[in-house]
Chains A and B, each alone.
Chain A
């Protein structure tokens, strides 16, 4: 299993541009998440999904959109990029049921985004 994969690894955007951060997991996890990590800070939840077709906002959703058309993919869309969106973005997935390891989140390697 590749686990959780994210593309791209790095990206520089100009103010006002748009882009999509890709996230794919091959563990058949129901739950998927997007977090951002600002310099020197912990991770904050942007959006999450409990299954295909179901998404919901996290703590810091403004300026972002998501979709979940399949179990495997959970792309994050940035519209009209702003310098405040400069951050490292992590995608994660989880298998929340009674099995051992429930609630553990598996993280992708992250995408470093700079908006100038």
Chain B
């Protein structure tokens, strides 16, 4: 069975600083996608960034970037210039098999302090 592991239950970062959230995954598939979703207290799941496994170039979206290490099955999220609005739960997820089903990690709660 596919697994996604987030080993950091909680992280804290000061405003304007940079933080990296870790994620490792285990898959036997050759074609898959990886995602980071943000879940604020409102519970809404918001897509932060997406990485196609066949692309070597790391994805970036404004202040958010990933470090995708395919051989190591690692997919970390870097948040630069952290803002108070970045405080949330962050979930790493990968597609599983057909129909783009997602397997999620257990999440990392990010606190942003002044």
Q: How far is the CB of A42 from chain B (nearest CB, A)?
A: 3
Contact A104 B107 (CB under 8 A): no
Pair B44/A94 contact, Cβ less than 8 Å: no
Interface of B is mostly: strand
> Does A48 make an interface contact (CB < 8 A)?
yes
Give Cα distance in the complex from A38 to B64, angstroms.
27
Interface residues on B, range: 20 to 34
CA distance A44 to B44 in the complex (A): 16
In the bound complex, residues from chain A placing their C-beta under 8 Å from that of B78 are: none
Residue on A with the closest CB to B95? A103
Complexed CA–CA distance, A109 and B4 (Å): 23
Q: Does A43 contact B (CB under 8 A)?
A: yes
Chain B residues at the A interface, C-beta cutoff of 8 Å: 4, 33, 35, 42-45, 47, 50, 91, 93, 95, 98-107
